[in-house]
């Protein structure tokens, strides 16, 4: 088993332009079922064997799409997310970066009344190794296994996956939740799914400065998690008030410090890696009785 996606997932690509097509082809080469693309005004055509529709609703009706991969430019991405939800898509993965915060506030509110789950925006996507990839991550470094990975950082996701694979620790599903201030699904959402997934035996969490999501996840882990958890927090040396990469990675008002996040994770029983080069080592320590 896995969480969110598997070999039965049927993917529609919203925004089948140059970038969308490139990554759709990569996902298809990995084995994902790319069943449709959506580009308004281009309905009835096809691109590299992928049928194109004017709307997501048409793609769902014609091709049975269940998952949307969104490459729509930021100014229109919020509308694309809402269109996917209205069409009955079960899971939307929004890769786009730079969606206005006000737009995402409206999206977040609208999705609370529906059933579609959103991953992202500003994320690398999701992969269930050996079954399905939805996003931009390099599939070759992943190996099927029992470690769940959830991360705010795309690059560090790739790093921990490479370390895990090199150590013989395959992954059940890897999820990049995104680094924007407002995202669809957070750490706790993914931890709940991993906690209930029989194929996931341990979890690695990658957090970073800014916000309080990691602290909230630490408390949830202490209270509810039945599986070993290890973590790494990026941004230990980040100066206050300076954005570090992601829009959400900023220390403001003395809150969101890496040291505070690390301290509460440790206090809640999470094994925390001391450097990005020792992430797999931290998980191995967490797995040792």
pLDDT digits (tens, 9 = 90+) for 6-46: 999 999 999 999 999 999 999 999 999 999 999 999 999 99
pLDDT band with cut points at 50, 70 and 90 for residue 252: very low
- Tokens coding 56: 């997501």
Tokens linked to 77: 């991405």
Question: In percent, how much of the chain has pLDDT > 70?
Answer: 93
Domains of the chain: 10-119 (3.40.50.720), 137-287 (3.40.50.261)
Tell me the mean pLDDT in the region 134-141. 97
Backbone angles phi, psi at 243, to 5 degrees: -70, 135
Q: What is the average per-residue pLDDT within 192-215? A: 95
Q: Higher pLDDT residue, 65 or 250?
A: 65
Q: Are 36 and 68 in contact (CB under 8 A)?
A: no
CA 228 → CA 204, 279, 284, distances in Å? Answer: 9, 14, 10
CA angle 272, 275, 277 (to 5 degrees): 115
Instruction: Give me the active site residues, please.
Output: 246
How high is the pLDDT of residue 254?
Answer: 45
Reported as a single tens digit per residue, the pLDDT across 275-285 is: 999 999 999 99
Mean pLDDT (the chain) is 93
* Contact (CB, 8 A) for 68 and 12: yes
């Amino acid at each position: 088993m896995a969480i969110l996606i598997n070999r039965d997932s049927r993917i529609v690509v919203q925004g089948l332009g140059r970038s969308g097509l490139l990554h759709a082809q990569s996902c298809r080469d990995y084995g994902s079922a790319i069943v449709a693309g959506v580009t308004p005004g281009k309905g009835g055509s096809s691109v590299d064997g992928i049928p194109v529709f004017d709307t997501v609703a048409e793609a769902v009706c014609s091709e049975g799409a269940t998952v949307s991969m969104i490459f729509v430019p930021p100014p229109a991405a919020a509308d694309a997310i809402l269109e996917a939800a209205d069409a009955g898509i079960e899971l939307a993965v929004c890769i786009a970066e730079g969606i206005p915060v006000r737009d995402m506030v409206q999206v977040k509110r609208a999705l609370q009344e529906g059933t579609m789950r959103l991953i992202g925006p500003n994320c690398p996507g999701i992969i269930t190794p050996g079954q399905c990839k939805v996003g931009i991550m390099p599939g070759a470094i992943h190996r099927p296994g029992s470690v769940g990975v959830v991360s705010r950082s795309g690059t560090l996701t790739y790093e921990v996956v490479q370390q895990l694979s090199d150590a013989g620790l395959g992954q059940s599903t890897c999820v990049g939740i995104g680094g924007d201030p407002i995202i669809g699904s957070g750490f706790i959402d993914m931890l709940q799914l991993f906690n209930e997934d029989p194929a996931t035996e341990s979890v690695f969490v990658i957090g970073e400065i800014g916000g309080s999501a990691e602290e909230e996840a630490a408390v949830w882990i202490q209270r509810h998690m039945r599986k070993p958890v290890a973590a790494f927090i990026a941004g230990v040396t980040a100066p206050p008030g300076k954005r570090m990469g992601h829009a959400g990675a900023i220390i403001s008002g003395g809150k969101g410090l890496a040291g505070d996040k690390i301290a509460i994770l440790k206090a809640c029983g999470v094994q925390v890696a001391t450097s990005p080069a020792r992430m797999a080592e931290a998980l191995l320590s967490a797995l040792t009785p």
